[in-house]
Chain A
Amino acid sequence: MKILVTVKEVATVEDEFEIEGTEIAQQYLGADLNEWDDYAIEEAVQLQEDGIADEVVTVTIGPEDCEQTIRQALAKGADRAVRVWDDALEDVDLLDVNAKTEILSAVIEEEDPDLVLSGVQAGDDSFAATGVSVAENIGFQWGAVVNHLEHDLDDGIASVRRELEGGVEELTDIELPAVLTIQTGINEPRYASLRGIRQAQQKPMDVKALADIGVDESTIETELELTDMYEPESESDVTTWEGSADETASELGELLRDKGVAQ
Chain B
Amino acid sequence: MTDVLAVADHRRGELRDVSYEIITAGRQLADETGGDLHLAVISGTVDEFADKLNREGVDAIHTVSHGEEFNHDVYSQAITQLYDDLAPQFVVTPNSVNGLDYAPAIANELDLPIVTDTVDLETDGETLIATREMYGGKVETTNELEGDAIVTIRGAEWPAAEGTGDAAIEAFDADIDEDAVGSTVTGFEEVGGGDVDISEAELLVSIGRGIEEEENLDLIRDLADALDATLSSSRPIVDNGWLPKNRQVGQSGKVVTPDVYIAIGISGAVQHVAGMKGSDTIVAINTDPNAPIMDIADYAIVDDLFDVVPELIEEFEG
| A96 proximal to B (CB < 8 A) | yes
Q: Mark B236-256, 1 if CB is under 8 A from A, else 0.
A: 101111000100100111110
Instruction: Kindly list chain B residues whose C-beta atoms are within 8 Å of the C-beta of A15.
Output: 288, 290-291
Q: How far is the CB of B289 from chain A (nearest CB, A)?
A: 7
Q: Are A132 and B100 in contact (CB under 8 A)?
A: yes
Q: Are A245 and B283 in contact (CB under 8 A)?
A: no
Q: How far is the CB of A24 from chain B (nearest CB, A)?
A: 7
A164 nearest in chain B by CB position: B97
Instruction: Kindly list chain A residues whose C-beta atoms are within 8 Å of the C-beta of B108.
Output: 98, 101, 133, 136-137
Q: Interface extent on A, as a size class? A: 35 or more
Report the separation of the CA atoms of residues A10 and B117 in the bound assembly, to the nearest whole angstrom.
18
Report the separation of the CA atoms of residues A143 and B302 in the bound assembly, to the nearest whole angstrom.
41
Report the separation of the CA atoms of residues A128 and B103 in the bound assembly, to the nearest whole angstrom.
10
Report the separation of the CA atoms of residues A145 and B284 in the bound assembly, to the nearest whole angstrom.
30
Q: Interface extent on B, as a size class? A: 35 or more
Instruction: Kindly list chain A residues whose C-beta atoms are within 8 Å of the C-beta of B248.
Output: 167
Q: Indicate whether A167 sits within 8 Å of B253 (C-beta atoms), given known contacts A174-B182, A241-B300, A249-B312.
A: yes
Interface majority SS (helix, strand, loop, mixed), chain B? mixed
Report the separation of the CA atoms of residues A72 and B197 in the bound assembly, to the nearest whole angstrom.
39
Q: Are A168 and B114 in contact (CB under 8 A)?
A: no
Q: How far is the CB of A126 from chain B (nearest CB, A)?
A: 6
A-B pairs with beta carbons under 8 A, tally: 271
Q: How far is the CB of B222 from chain A (nearest CB, A)?
A: 14
Docked complex: B107-136 residues within 8 A CB-CB of A: 107-109, 113-117, 129, 132-136
| B157 proximal to A (CB < 8 A) | no
Q: Are A165 and B251 in contact (CB under 8 A)?
A: yes
Q: Are A228 and B141 in contact (CB under 8 A)?
A: yes
| A250 proximal to B (CB < 8 A) | yes
Q: Indicate whether A168 sits within 8 Å of B189 (C-beta atoms), given known contacts A96-B113, A224-B115, A227-B142.
A: yes
Q: Are A246 and B311 in contact (CB under 8 A)?
A: yes
| B176 proximal to A (CB < 8 A) | no
Q: Indicate whether A129 sits within 8 Å of B188 (C-beta atoms), given known contacts A166-B252, A224-B115, A226-B143.
A: no
Chain A positions near chain B (C-beta within 8 angstroms):
11-13, 15-17, 19, 22, 24, 94, 96-98, 101, 123-133, 135-137, 141-145, 159, 161-175, 178, 184-185, 188, 223-232, 234-236, 238-241, 245-246, 248-253, 255-256, 259-263
Chain B positions near chain A (C-beta within 8 angstroms):
11-12, 16, 72, 76, 95-98, 100-105, 107-109, 113-117, 129, 132-146, 182-192, 202-203, 227-229, 235-236, 238-241, 245, 248, 251-255, 258-260, 262, 280-281, 283-284, 288-291, 294-304, 307-312, 314-316
A-B contact pairs, 30 of them (CB 8 A): A13-B138, A15-B290, A101-B108, A128-B95, A133-B105, A136-B105, A143-B183, A144-B101, A164-B11, A171-B189, A175-B183, A185-B239, A224-B115, A224-B145, A225-B143, A227-B141, A227-B143, A238-B295, A238-B300, A241-B301, A245-B310, A248-B301, A251-B299, A252-B301, A256-B227, A259-B260, A259-B281, A260-B259, A261-B227, A263-B316
